[in-house]
A = this chain, B = another copy of it.
Amino acid sequence: MRRTIVATTLLAVTGLAHAAEPIQVIEPATITNPEMVELGKKLFFEPRLSKSGFLSCNSCHNLSLGGVDILPTSIGHNWQEGPINAPTVLNAKYMLAQFWDGRAATLQEQAAGPIANPKEMALEHELALDVLRAIPGYQAEFSEVFGDKGITLDTVTEAIATFEETLVTPNSRFDQYLNGDKEALSTAEQEGYALFKSKGCAACHNGPAVGGTMYQKMGLMQPFVTSNPAQGRVDVTGKEHDRMVFKVPTLRNIELTYPYFHDGSTYDLKEAVIVMQRVQLGQELTDQEADRITDFLKTLTGEQPQITLPILPPSVAGTPKPQPFAK
C-alpha cells in the first residue's frame, strides 16, 4: 500500500519518464504531530532507558554518523559485544520490517527490543517505565502528548517510532538527478548507475531506500564467508530455506554507514561492491566497474536530519538509579 502511494507521488513529481526507474526519490518528512516527535526525540537520546544510565538509542544509531555506530558490531551493557552490525535508523520507515532478520514488523515494535535486550540496554521494560514515571518532566510531557494513556511501553515506543519516521534523508544528488537535473551526477556517476542496473544490483536494492523491500539470501551464488554466527530469518520463521536470508539493507547514505554487511566485515565500500557482485550475482566486476558503481553509491548521501539536541528532564531524588556497574 505504501509503495503504491510512493509510486503515485513519483509520477506526479518526475513524470512518466522515470516510472521505470527501480529507485524512487526520498520525500522530506511531513510532521503532523510535532509534540510527539519532540518527546520521541528525547526518548531516543535518553540514557536512563538503559540499566547503566549510559546507553541510548542514539549510542548505536548515532545521528551524527549516518544513524549507525560505525563499528562492526555494537557495544552493549557492560561492554558486551553485539551479535550483528547495527542497521541505520535513517530512512528505516521504508523497510518492509525491522532488524536484519525482520523480526519486528514496525518501527514501534523494534524500539522496544534493544531497551530490554540484556546484551544492549539491558533494562527490563517495567523498570524502564518506572524510571520515566518518576521523572516529573516526562510525567507532564506524556500527559500532554498522550492524555490519559500515560507512560506505557506502547506510548514510549509510539513516540520513539514517530520521531524515527522523521529521520529521512531527501535531496541527495541522486534524488536531484531522478527529479530531472541531469547535471546533478557526473558522467562517471551516471555510468555507475547504469552498471548498478545492468549488473543486477537493482534487483534487490530498489525502492526509495534502495533496499529494504525484500529478504534475500546472503551468498546466493557463492557462500558468504563470515565468522558471524547470525543465521537470519530462519530464527524467525523456523524454515530451513530462510537460513542466511536477511533483509536487503538500504544503500541510502552508504558512504556514512560503514562498516558493511551484517557482520561489518569491511570498511571499504568498493570492496563491499565487489564482494556483493561475487556472492550474490556470481560475477567479477572489473576494477573500473567497481569504481563507477562506488561513485554512484556515494551520490545516495542525502541531507541528514537537522537535530537540535534535546534537553532531558532531570531525575529527582526518588527516581530509580542507574546501575552502571551491576553485572
A267–B324 touching, CB < 8 Å: no
- Binary CB contact string for chain A from 35 to 59 against chain B (1 if under 8 A, 0 otherwise): 0000000000101100011100001
- Choose one: B54, B75, B256; the contact of A324 (CB below 8 Å): B75
Task: Please give, as numbers and ranges, the residues of chain B lying within 8 Å of A317 by CB-CB distance.
Answer: 267-271
> How many copies of the polypeptide does the oligomer hold?
2
Please report the C-alpha to C-alpha distance between residue A30 and residue B2 in the assembled complex, in whole angstroms. Answer: 48
Please report the C-alpha to C-alpha distance between residue A68 and residue B23 in the assembled complex, in whole angstroms. Answer: 44
Say yes or no for A15: interface residue by CB 8 A criterion.
no
Q: Report A137 CB to chain B, min CB distance, Å.
A: 11
Say yes or no for A198: interface residue by CB 8 A criterion.
no
- Binary CB contact string for chain A from 244 to 275 against chain B (1 if under 8 A, 0 otherwise): 00000000000110100000000111110000
Given contacts A309-B308, A319-B267, contact A52 B65 (CB under 8 A): no
Within 8 A of B (CB), among A296-327: 304, 306-312, 314-315, 317, 319, 321-322, 324-325
Say yes or no for A63: interface residue by CB 8 A criterion.
yes
A312–B64 touching, CB < 8 Å: yes
Q: Report A125 CB to chain B, min CB distance, Å.
A: 21
Please report the C-alpha to C-alpha distance between residue A79 and residue B306 in the assembled complex, in whole angstroms. Answer: 31
Please report the C-alpha to C-alpha distance between residue A250 and residue B255 in the assembled complex, in whole angstroms. Answer: 42
Task: Please give, as numbers and ranges, the residues of chain B lying within 8 Å of A151 by CB-CB distance.
Answer: none
B75–A54 touching, CB < 8 Å: yes
Say yes or no for A121: interface residue by CB 8 A criterion.
no
- Choose one: B79, B81, B321, B325; the contact of A267 (CB below 8 Å): B321
- Choose one: B45, B52, B270, B321; the contact of A75 (CB below 8 Å): B52
Q: Number of A interface residues at 8 Å Cβ cutoff, please give it.
A: 44
Please report the C-alpha to C-alpha distance between residue A69 and residue B48 in the assembled complex, in whole angstroms. Answer: 10
Residue of B nearest to A54 (CB): B75
Task: Please give, as numbers and ranges, the residues of chain B lying within 8 Å of A155 by CB-CB distance.
Answer: none
Say yes or no for A62: interface residue by CB 8 A criterion.
yes
A258–B314 touching, CB < 8 Å: yes
Task: Please give, as numbers and ranges, the residues of chain B lying within 8 Å of A66 by CB-CB distance.
Answer: 314
B64–A310 touching, CB < 8 Å: yes
B79–A322 touching, CB < 8 Å: no
Say yes or no for A176: interface residue by CB 8 A criterion.
no
* A-B pairs, 8 with minimum CB distance: A79-B79, A268-B317, A307-B309, A304-B311, A64-B312, A256-B314, A54-B75, A45-B64
A-B contact pairs, 5 of them (CB 8 A): A45-B64, A47-B62, A70-B322, A79-B79, A79-B325
